[in-house]
Structure 1
């Protein structure tokens, strides 16, 4: 059994993550335009026709920017809590709206999506794990702190998208005004490289094959800095930086910890 995963974009300019198997897939967040979502999936050999649902973590624009058009064009169910929908201001066809509750699994074909509460400065924020058979993938971004919910779910993952938003020194010395620096590191904003690394080192399961460093700040982090920091502690886990400018490769997650090359036409199964 395999799960295929990719980040279509990751950062304050837009977030969208693909997780699927040979039958169906889900998107976690839809923060880039419908056109860009389609184009990036096509470059990976993926089809939007395989996507069966979209799950929304919270209402910030970099997580919902492309949602309305994408859901309408492909008639996709949108899983979003009422407080998040209200705060988003989006107008979504009622026939497409679904809600969810923390820690209650949502079945999407042979995939099982479990939302859980997280700490972030939003109306009703959640993170998600997606399970297929014995394989589990987590999407853990926009986190104010490493909470018990996060630790519990992180320990179960074969692969995870984990926020490493900022480097402490770069943020402190950078151009952001004090109120914004305070928001970022104040316990309801974002995880630093140091916080994410502490979670990884303390709670990484031995079977975690891939870690995608996600939601890196454009101004307060450096991809090479974050990558080198984690790679030096990664053991058997492959570490990838999820870009804010382009999609990652398409990765195949298996119990055997297999990675395929970037998807091209001969790998298209979807």
Structure 2
């Protein structure tokens, strides 16, 4: 009884997260090309034939730019709000488009996906939790502030993709124009390392085994810095930095009370 997760890419150049069990998987966002998605999954031993649906968090290009080709090639249902579909300018066969409603669970075979609203400068942005096999995984990126919705769902997770976008000092002293700095840190942009760490240390459930730090800024963060920051406070949680250049390993997430040996697992037959 477990779920398997990986970040296929995480950053402003593209976001795509895989969550699945032995039979069924979903993708959260499709922000890298279809070809690159296929290549990275193949390197991990993951099959696109297991993917049964794509869920889209919002319409920014780093979350949707591979969607049209991927959905068409594999005839996948796309779960997306009407407003996100419209603002994204997406051309998808209407027979494949399915709208979702916050807090209403969507069943994809043996997986259950639940969306909830978040603070971000998009038309109708959502985060997701994916549950199955007594395991819950959260995908929490592109979040301006850690609101009560986020806290509630973070407490449920056995593993999570959590945004740690920028170091506050690096952003302040960096080359970005003032308006862009304010967009990032203004409450509808992204979570800083400090905000993410506070959420983690204050609300981390005892059964959380893995935290994948996600959507790191290329210019305003440093992977070594943020991993060290979280590792000091990690307790029993394994800290992984999701790359903006390549896929992570596949991690096997087990229900509370069970430990995977080894905890990091690359599947060649999945």
Please report the TM-score for the alignment, with normalisation by the length of structure 2. 0.98
Q: Contact 1:44 / 1:262 at 8 angstroms: preserved in 2? A: no
Residues in 2 aligned to 1:167 and 1:261: alpha-carbon distance in whole angstroms:
28
Once the two structures are TM-superposed, the CA of residue 260 in structure 1 deviates from its matched residue by 4.2
Once the two structures are TM-superposed, the CA of residue 262 in structure 1 deviates from its matched residue by 5.0
1:55 aligns with 2:55: yes
C-alpha deviations, 1:45-96, integer Å up to 9, x for none?
0011110000000000000000000000000000000000000001000110
Once the two structures are TM-superposed, the CA of residue 261 in structure 1 deviates from its matched residue by 4.1
1:7 aligns with 2:1: no
Once the two structures are TM-superposed, the CA of residue 133 in structure 1 deviates from its matched residue by 2.9
Residues in 1 aligned to 2:221 and 2:133: alpha-carbon distance in whole angstroms:
36
TM-align CA RMSD? 0.8
Once the two structures are TM-superposed, the CA of residue 149 in structure 1 deviates from its matched residue by 0.2
1:75 aligns with 2:75: yes
SS of equivalent to 1:201: helix
Residues in 2 aligned to 1:172 and 1:110: alpha-carbon distance in whole angstroms:
45
Residues in 2 aligned to 1:134 and 1:38: alpha-carbon distance in whole angstroms:
28
Residues in 1 aligned to 2:34 and 2:121: alpha-carbon distance in whole angstroms:
26
Alignment of 1:93-172 (within 5 A): 93-172=93-172
1:201 aligns with 2:201: yes
SS of equivalent to 1:112: strand
Structure 1 unaligned blocks of 5 or more:
none
Residues in 2 aligned to 1:83 and 1:98: alpha-carbon distance in whole angstroms:
12
Residue 246 of structure 1 corresponds to: 246
Residue 91 of structure 1 corresponds to: 91
Once the two structures are TM-superposed, the CA of residue 134 in structure 1 deviates from its matched residue by 1.5
Q: Contact 2:252 / 2:265 at 8 angstroms: preserved in 1? A: no
C-alpha deviations, 1:28-58, integer Å up to 9, x for none?
0000000000000000000111100000000
Residue 185 of structure 2 corresponds to: 185
Q: Contact 1:16 / 1:31 at 8 angstroms: preserved in 2? A: yes
SS of equivalent to 1:13: coil
SS of equivalent to 1:87: helix
Residues in 2 aligned to 1:257 and 1:148: alpha-carbon distance in whole angstroms:
30
Structure 2 unaligned blocks of 5 or more:
none
Task: Label 1:22 to 1:262 Cα distance change in 2 as closer, same or farther (>3 A).
Answer: closer
